Structure 1
Amino acid sequence: MPQPATPVHVSPSERERLEACVRRTSTPQTLAKRVRMLLLRADGFGPASVARRLGCAVSTVDKWSARWRQRPCLESLLDAPRSGRPQSIDLETRCEIVKIACSRPDGCKAPVREVWTLDAIATELHARAGILVSRSSVHRVLQARGLRPHRVRPWLHSPDPDFRPKVRRICELYLTPPKDAVVLCVDEKPMQVLSRKYPTRRARDASLRREFEYVRHGTRALLGAFEVRRGKVVGEVVKHRDAATMLKFMERLARRYPRQRIIVIWDNLNIHKDGLDERWSLFNARHGNRFEFVYTPMHASWLNQIEIWFSILQRRVLRLGSFDDAGELEAAVRGFIAYWNRYEAHPFRWKFSGDFVQAPYRTHGQVVRHPTRRFHGRALVEEAPRPLPRPRSEARQPAHSGVGVQRGPHTACPSASHRDRHLGTRNAISLPLGAHALSGPRAGAAARPPPRFLRLDAHADGVNHYEFPG
């Protein structure tokens, strides 16, 4: 005689959960069918009767009824974890792949190769252990452990013994500049005079189509000085960068600031040193020893804020510009300097204090500490952000002269690097002026309309004067 079926008991609380699961439209049909099995069995129906009602086998009803008795909850009706397909690559082979990836390529087994590739690792594994694996299998093994043997991350060591004191000294000048002195960041930027063989065109999708070939018309050098407190730039385009031109440029800076103490921050270029003629000692003596020269550490030109301004000039004027001769390049650079000083000059917000900490980086969802220290990047400096608008009833406040100060409330122009990063090359073709015009003056400045173009007038005194038409 057939044995009677074992009854199934469902508590009132679990019945509410089961009935709610059946009513829910988002419940998978497989799970809903199993819940109905349990509810019918709890109502007194036998396995055969439940199987006929739901259109399944009696063994299926018995299986989920037994699961419920072992663990009377809704979670027992879910699929149990499965082992999956057996591994085709054993643990020893995986460890050998990791061992190869963490070693340098051998010149005999992987000739003319400095870093590992997936195919090279698979070939090396076959040569060492006689095991054939596919490149996709090698990729999965390395990816599971976060290994990237093909990546090359450059780093630069500064041999300067006074690296940290020099960095702290420069950062102090940026963060708390002396009130009785002007801090100037001075450097040189070489520039190539390049013209495209064919003009740059605008495509239908609004992208730029630039001719690859170019014609070179020589080189020029830009001598620049960035005033840390106000963000003003003094620049001069010269044919050659040598000690004589740099000395002449420094004389210009001395005339620009006739009665103030001047702190010059620059790198260790040979023309920045005294040399045999003691040029800078004599220069300083001629001007009453009011110049103080602060040198960046070796291999640390990123500490010079003029490099940030040079990057803005490169993105907005030089990178996609086309210049038929050197005079056109000089006019474009000088025009951008005049435009910057009149409409966009602002100090950079320097955030690096000179204290080096290890920067974390992510690897597969985990934050680990990198063995090397990161000295540069967006964590060190950013331009002053655009402030929130204020009611018109509030009086305009004069702009503060310190470093890191917010720009005025009526300044409608965001930071240059932020704008160029999002708008790309919008104003880098043809003349660099007129695009990105400001809709309001700086805080405390008289209102003036932004220029549509820049006109260059050559005068007899050899000085270029710029006019900004409305």
Structure 2
Amino acid sequence: MALTLTVSERRRLKTMAYGRKTEYQARQRASIVLLAARGRSNARIAHETGLHLDTVRVWRGRFAHGGLPALADRKRSGRPAHFTPVQVAEAKALACQLPAETGVPLSQWSCPELAAELTTSGITDTVSASTVRRWLREDALKPWQYRSWIFIRDPDFRAKAQRVLDLYARTFEGFPLGEDQYVVSSDEKTSIQARCRCHPTLAPGQARAMRVNHEYGRGGALAYLAAYDVHRAQVFGRCEPKTGIVPFMNLVTQVMTT
């Protein structure tokens, strides 16, 4: 008995049967249904496609009862899980604790160390680091990463910081700054090694990186002083042999004359 296809089903099946990126099994199943829709018998379809008669009978029957969704693979139970959901949850909970809380002499967890601790504490049997990494990836846990922060001890920090934040927002004591008013942030970097290359640097070229000779002569330690125009993103910098009020005033003079 021939199958009856709708226009959308026929278009979808042709895309599956003749598409270059279609999986081989999906192409075979779509070809079976298309041939069946032309009135071919199961034996003839098996002969034309080179498939077993039982295979043709199965996929023809599935489509007749379930349509296009029935051509997909059915869900399989797969291999039984080796670790229970409780063990996985305990592994994630351990990753969210500091190593010092469990008596492990580490500053931060890694997947191999977590796997070893899970086995030592009896939470799981032998478990691989890749398995632990897969568990942590499910909840985007990365205990080996950290971010430093500063604990604020100044009780007047909010008031002091508010003045700086207001300046960043172009406000001072409740009044907006004018166009001829600037907010400048300055700092210094000390003990910078001044090195002079003994040979000139070669410019980069086609398929060739810039070449820098490894030999250099020491020029002593210098200090770099910089002032940053916050709202115009402009940097004023200068090198000085040392820090102090005189080099800083030289920076101030450079900024004010500019």
1:51 maps onto 2:51 in alignment: no
1:162 maps onto 2:159 in alignment: yes
For 1:55 and 1:199, the matched residues in 2 are separated by: 73
Higher helix share: 2
For 2:59 and 2:40, the matched residues in 1 are separated by: 14
For 1:120 and 1:212, the matched residues in 2 are separated by: 43
Secondary structure of residue in 1 paired with 2:194: strand
Match for residue 217 of structure 1?
Answer: 220
Q: CA deviation at 1:146?
A: 0.6
Cα pair 1:174 1:228 within 8 Å, conserved: no
Match of 1:80 among 74, 81, 91: 74
Q: CA deviation at 1:154?
A: 1.4
Q: CA deviation at 1:138?
A: 1.0
Match for residue 239 of structure 1?
Answer: 242
Q: Deviations over 1:403-431 (max 9, x none)?
A: xxxxxxxxxxxxxxxxxxxxxxxxxxxxx
For 1:30 and 1:251, the matched residues in 2 are separated by: 76
Cα pair 2:35 2:45 within 8 Å, conserved: yes
Query: Aligned residues: percent identity?
Result: 22
Match for residue 192 of structure 2?
Answer: 192
Cα pair 1:186 1:226 within 8 Å, conserved: yes
User: Relative to structure 1, is the Cα distance of residues 173 and 16 closer, same or farther in structure 2, using a 3 angstrom cutoff?
Assistant: closer
Match for residue 130 of structure 2?
Answer: 136
Cα pair 1:68 1:76 within 8 Å, conserved: yes
Alignment map for 1:279-428 (pairs within 5 Å): none
Match for residue 93 of structure 1?
Answer: 87
Aligned residue identity for 1:99: A
State TM-score, norm by structure 1: 0.43
1:119 maps onto 2:112 in alignment: yes
Total equivalences in the alignment: 246
Q: Deviations over 1:252-272 (max 9, x none)?
A: 589x67xxxxxxxxxxxxxxx
Q: Deviations over 1:1-30 (max 9, x none)?
A: xxxxxx353135366336633773424443
User: Relative to structure 1, is the Cα distance of residues 22 and 147 closer, same or farther in structure 2, using a 3 angstrom cutoff?
Assistant: closer
Cα pair 2:17 2:30 within 8 Å, conserved: no
Q: Deviations over 1:90-117 (max 9, x none)?
A: 2122112101111111377522x11011
- Where structure 2 has 5 or more consecutive residues not aligned to the other structure, the ranges are none
1:67 maps onto 2:70 in alignment: no
Cα pair 2:16 2:27 within 8 Å, conserved: yes
For 1:28 and 1:103, the matched residues in 2 are separated by: 45
Cα pair 1:196 1:211 within 8 Å, conserved: no
Q: CA deviation at 1:198?
A: 5.4
Aligned residue identity for 2:177: P
Cα pair 1:201 1:208 within 8 Å, conserved: yes
User: Relative to structure 1, is the Cα distance of residues 182 and 140 closer, same or farther in structure 2, using a 3 angstrom cutoff?
Assistant: closer
For 1:185 and 1:36, the matched residues in 2 are separated by: 72
For 1:63 and 1:155, the matched residues in 2 are separated by: 64
Cα pair 1:177 1:183 within 8 Å, conserved: no
Secondary structure of residue in 1 paired with 2:121: helix
Q: Which protein has greater RCO, CA pairs closer than 8 Å, 6+ apart? A: 1
Q: CA deviation at 1:233?
A: 4.0
User: Relative to structure 1, is the Cα distance of residues 196 and 229 closer, same or farther in structure 2, using a 3 angstrom cutoff?
Assistant: closer
Secondary structure of residue in 2 paired with 1:115: coil
User: Relative to structure 1, is the Cα distance of residues 54 and 221 closer, same or farther in structure 2, using a 3 angstrom cutoff?
Assistant: closer
Q: CA RMSD in A?
A: 4.0
Cα pair 1:117 1:150 within 8 Å, conserved: yes
